[in-house]
Structure 1
Amino acid sequence: MEAVNPATGERLDVYDPDDDDTVERKLDHATSTFEDWREVPLREREELLENASDVLRENKQRYAELMTREMGKPITQAIAEVEKCAWACDHYAEYAHKYLSDEHHPSPPGTEVKTVHDPLGPVLAVMPWNYPFWQVIRFAAPYLTAGNVGLLKHASNVPGCALALEEVFAEAGYPDGAFQTLLVGSSNVDSILADDRVRAATLTGSGPAGRAVAETAGKHLKKTVLELGGSDPFIVLDDADLDAALKTGVQARTLNGGQSCIAAKRFIVHTDVYDEYVDRLVAAFEDLTVGDPMSEETDIGPQADPDLMAELHDQVQESVDAGATLLTGGEPLARTGAFYPPTVLTAVPSGCPADTEEMFGPVATVYEVADADEAITVANDTRFGLGASLWTSDRERGQRLARDISAGCVYINEMTKSDPRVPFGGIKDAGYGRELSEMGIKEFVNKKTVWVE
C-alpha cells in the first residue's frame, strides 16, 4: 500500500496491509473493547472527546502537511480541515448528553415509559480520500461518544492519514480498541461487513461502492448510512447579489480542487444575468493560482491521483466533442504532477458526461434558464440529490423554491456545506441516512423502549 505525492509523483512511504490474522485480531479486540466501553459513563466519553479536540489542534500543522502530501489539498485548506474536526469534537463533547437523553412518552398513571439510546457495537466506516480527516471525525466523534467502537477502512492512497487518526484517539486517552484502522483494500470490505462482530456500517464514496455495502448489509440485516456522489446545482436567479454569488460560487466549485461531493457542479443562471455572470466566472477562474499545495498562495493543488485526473479530462473532452463550449481550461497542465486547471463549460448538451455524471474536479458546467421554474426543473434533472445552493435577494422566495428542490439540503445565499450542528445527507443516488447533529449521533443506536409498570 503506497502513499504517493500527487504534486510531484514522489513515493512517500510503503505500508504493509493487514493480513487476515491481523484483521481477525482487530475484530476480536473491537468486540471485547465494546463490552467495557459501552459501560463508560457518557460524561467520561465526552471528556475524552474534548481531549481528542485538543490533540487535533496541537498537531494541526503536522496533520495538515500529511494530508497535503498524500492527496494534494492546499495547505491552508488542510489546516482548516483539522480545525473543523476539532470543532466537531467540541460540539459533541458539549451536546452528546442532550442528544442522547432519555425521551419520555405518555403512559398510564403510575407507569413510566421512555426511549433510551444504547450503542450497537463495532461500526465499520469506509471513508474516502478527499477530506481524509473530516470524513472520519464526523462519523467517529458522534458514534464513539454514543458508546460504539470504530473500525476505519480508509482510502488506500491516504494510509498515513488513517494511522494518524488512530493516533488522535490513542493520545486522547481512549481505550485501546475503541478506534482501530484496518489497512486493507476494498476487496476486503464485503467479508468484514458480513462478519457477525460488525454491527453496522457507514460509507462515504462512489455509487457502486455504496450499492455493494448496502447489498451486503441488507443480506445480514445491518444498519447503514451512505453518503454518495452529488452533482449539486448552484442556482443564480435574476435578483441575486452577483458579487456574493460569484465569490461563493468560485469557492464552492474549486475548494479542495473541486473534489467534493457537495461542490457546486452545475451553475444554473437566469438569462437576465447569465452573460455577466459567465464572463465574471471565467475571469475569476483564470485568476486562481494552481500550483504547489504547500504554498499558502495556492488556490488549487493537484488532483489526488493521475488516473482520477485522466478520468476527469475524458469527461470534459467527451462533453466538448458532444457540443459543449469550452470557455477556459480543459487541458491538464504541462508540468509534473496531476494538475488540472479550473474549467468552464457552457451550452452543455443533454446526455453528455458533463450533464449526467459527477465531475470530481474543478469543472463548472453552466446552464442558462428563462425563469425560476425552469431553474428548479434543471436542478432536479439529475439522479443525484445531495445538496443545492440558491441565490436570490428575496429570502421568502428562496425558502419557497427550496421546498421544490430534490436534495438533502438547500442553502440559500450560501454554499452547501457540512456543519456539526445540522443534519447532513442526501436522497436518490446521493445515498440515505444522516450524519452530524442529533440525527447523526442517533443513526447507530438502539432506540429502546423501556416500560416501567
Structure 2
Amino acid sequence: MCRRGHRGRAAATGWARTPAAQRGAALHAAAAAVREAADELADLTERETGKPYADARGGVDAGIGTLVQYAELGPVHRGRTLHGGWDATDLMIPEPRGVVAVLTPWNDPVAVAAGLIGAALATGNTVVHKPSERCPATGRRFAELVAAHLPPDVLRIVDGDGAVGARLSTADVDVVAHVGSTAAGSQIRRACAVTGAHPILENGGNDPLVVDAGVDPVWAAEQAALGSFANSGQICVSVERIYVHADVAEPFLDALTAQAHDWAERIGPMVDRAQRADVHRQVTGTVAAGARLRTGGELPDGPGAFYPPTVLDGCTADMALFAEETFGPVAPVRVVPDLDTALHEAADDRYGLGATVLTADMGRAQTAWRTLPVGTVKINAVFGGAPGGAAQPRRASGQGFGFGPELLDEMTTVKVVHLEPAPTGP
C-alpha cells in the first residue's frame, strides 16, 4: 500500500481532527445499533462457532458495554503539563497513531472486536478490521453496524484467512492489534520490527491452576471445572494445567470427574472438527506418555465437533497437555507435595497470560501472586475481577495492554511540545 494512497490513511487526518466528544457520540450511536442487533449477532456467533446462544449473547452484551466505556473514556483521555520555565509552556500530548489493523479471534468475536476497535476509534485512529475466517459473518456484521455511524473509510472491513492477516500486518499501518494464536503473534512481532508499527498482542496461554492444602476439594473442583470446561475450554484464560496438593488430591479428582460428567450436558461443540482433532491429539499423546484418563478423551460418533469434558491425572511437566496450550475442554492434573513445588513448576513455562491459586492462607496467596510471572493472578476465583482491569501478558502470551483505560495509551503516541515566546525586539 502506498503510504498516502490507501483509504484508511486518507481518512486518518479528518478523523483525528474530529473533536473527541464527537467521536464519543459516534461510538454511543454505534453501541445503540449493536444493541438493536444483539440477537442477530448472537445467532450468527452460535451458528459459526458453536458457542451456546446464551454465552454468545453475553459476549455481545459485553461488547456493547465496552463500546460505551470507550465512548466515555475517549473524550477525557488526557496528557500532562510539565513545570518548566516561567515564560515557557511544556506539554505532553497524546496523539492518534494513525491506522490500526485489528485482527480478532473467533472464540469471543464481538467482545474482543468492540474493545480494540472502540479504543482505536475513540482516540482518533482509523481502523482496518479483519475478523477470524471461522466467524466472518459475525465479524463483518458487527463492523458494519459500527461503520454506519462513522465517516467513510474510518472503519474498513477485510475478509480472509491467516494469509490475509499476515499481509495486513506488514502493510502501511501504524498499529497491529491482534488477539489469537501465539504462532500468529510471533509473525506479527517480526513484521512490526521491520515496519515500525506498534504491536498490541494477546496470544496463547497455558494458564495454571494451583490447589493448596486446606481448601474444600469439592469447591476447588467446581472452580477447576469452570476454568477448564466453560465455552468448551476455548477461552484465552482457560485453565490449562492443574497442580493439586497431595493432601486433597483424591477427593479433588473424584469431585472434578463428577463435575466433568455434569458439564457434558452444559457445553456446546468446539469451533470445528480441525480444532477438536488438535485437542484429541494432545490428549492421546498425553495418555500414551503415561497419564491416566479418568473420564472423556474419546471422539463421539456422528457429525459435529463436540468433545467431552476430559480429566486426566498422573501428568508430568513434559507431557503435551502441560507443555502447550490445549484450547479445549480438558483438565490435566498433576499431584504435588507442597505449594512451593506447584508455584515453581507453574512458573516454568514459556507463556505468561494468567494463573489462579486456590488457598485459605492469605500469606501463601501473597507469596503466590508475587511469584507467578504472568499478567493476571486470580486468588480463589478462576474468573471475575473489577471492570476496567488491564494487564500486560508476558513472554509468548503477548505484549501491551489489551483492555481497560490503558488501551487508550497503547492506541496513542505522546508528543512533547515546548513553547517559548519569540524575542520582542533588538
Task: Please classify the TM superposition score into its range, dividing by the shorter chain length.
Answer: over 0.9
Residues 241 and 391 in structure 1, CA contact (< 8 A), matched pair in contact too: no
Q: Write the mapping of 1:295-334 to structure 2, written as runs, cut at 5 A.
A: 299-334=266-301
CA deviation string 1:169-213 (max 9, x = no partner): 134x122212211113322334333333x1120111222211111
CA distance in 2, matches of 1:213, 1:80: 30
Structure 1 SS opposite 2:177: strand
User: Which deviates the most, 85-94 or 119-128?
Assistant: 85-94
Alpha-carbon shift at residue 125 of structure 1 (Å): 1.5
Equivalent AA in structure 2 for residue 68 of structure 1: E
Unaligned runs of 5+ in 1: 1-22, 291-298
Is the aligned partner of 1:401 residue 2:368? yes
Q: TM-score, normalised by structure 1?
A: 0.88
What SS does the corresponding residue of 2:277 show, helix, strand or coil? helix
Out of 117-126 and 178-187, give the one that drifted further. Answer: 178-187
**Aligned to 2:152, what secondary structure does the other structure show?**
coil
* 2:52 equivalent to 1:70: no
Which secondary structure does the structure 2 equivalent of 1:124 belong to?
strand
Question: Which of these residues, 243, 246, 254, is aligned with residue 221 of structure 2?
Answer: 246
How much does 1:362 deviate? 0.1
AA of the residue aligned to 2:133? S
Quote the Cα distance in structure 1 between the aligned partners of 2:115 and 2:339. 35
In structure 2, the CA distance between the partners of 1:245 and 1:192, relative to structure 1 (3 Å rule), is same
**What residue is the counterpart of 2:424 in the other structure?**
none
Q: Please tell me whether residue 61 in structure 1 is matched to residue 39 in structure 2.
A: yes
Identity of counterpart residues, as a percentage?
A: 29
1:209-257 Cα shifts (integer Å, max 9, x gaps): 1111111111111111111110101111123354543333222111111
Contact 1:435 1:441 in 2 (8 A): no
Question: Normalising by the residue count of structure 2, what TM-score does the alignment of the two structures yield?
Answer: 0.93
Aligned counterpart, 1:450: 417
Give, in whole Å, the separation in 1 of the partners of 2:17 and 2:310: 53
Matches within 5 A, 1:104-183: 104-171=81-148, 173-183=149-159
> Which residue matches 1:410?
377
Residue 333 of structure 1 and its aligned partner are, at CA, apart by 1.6
Map 1:2-41 → 2, pairs under 5 A: 28-41=6-19
2:340 maps to 373
1:430 aligns with 2:397: yes
SS at match of 2:240: strand
8 Å Cα contact 2:34-2:142 kept in structure 1 = no
Displacement of 1:75 in angstroms is 0.8
d(CA) in 2 for partners of 1:451 and 1:216?
A: 34
> d(CA) in 2 for partners of 1:96 and 1:396?
39
Aligned to 2:205: 230
1:269: Cα distance to partner? 1.3
Look up the match of 2:253.
Answer: 278
Decide which of 50, 55, 69 is 1:91's aligned counterpart: 69
- In structure 2, distance between residues paired with 1:438 and 1:395: 29
Give the distance between the partners of 2:386 and 2:123, measured in 1 at CA: 19
Aligned-pair CA distance for 1:335? 2.8
Query: Is residue 216 from structure 1 mapped to residue 191 from structure 2 by the alignment?
Result: yes
CA distance in 2, matches of 1:34, 1:152: 15
Q: Which moved more, 1:310-319 or 1:129-138?
A: 129-138
Residues 201 and 402, structure 2, Cα contact 8 Å, conserved in 1: no
1:397-428 deviation per Cα after TM superposition (whole angstroms, max 9, x unaligned):
31332010010111112224687501134111
8 A Cα contact 1:128 1:204, kept in partner: yes
Q: Give the aligned CA root-mean-square deviation in angstroms.
A: 2.1
Pick one of 189, 199, 211 that aligns with 2:174: 199
> Where does residue 59 of structure 2 map in the other structure?
81
Deviations 1:121-179 (A, max 9, x none): 111122221111122112111111011111112211211012112222134x1222122
| CA pair 29-249 structure 1, distance change in 2 beyond 3 A | same
- Distance 1:65-1:419 versus aligned 2 partners, 3 A rule: farther
2:43 partner amino acid: E
Aligned partners of 1:241 and 1:392 also within 8 Å: no
Contact 2:234 2:328 in 1 (8 A): yes
Q: Aligned-pair distance for 1:63?
A: 0.6
The residue type equivalent to 2:328 in the other structure is G
Give the 3-state SS of the residue equivalent to 2:159 in structure 1: coil
Task: State the partner residue of 1:287.
Answer: 262
Query: Quick one: distance in 2 between partners of 1:174 and 1:417?
Result: 33
Taking a change above 3 Å as real, the CA distance of residues 62 and 191 of structure 1, as seen in their structure-2 partners, is closer
Q: Report SS of the residue matched to 1:287.
A: helix
Task: Give aligned pairs, total.
Answer: 420
| Aligned partner letter, 2:359 | T
Q: Which amino acid aligns with 2:285?
A: E
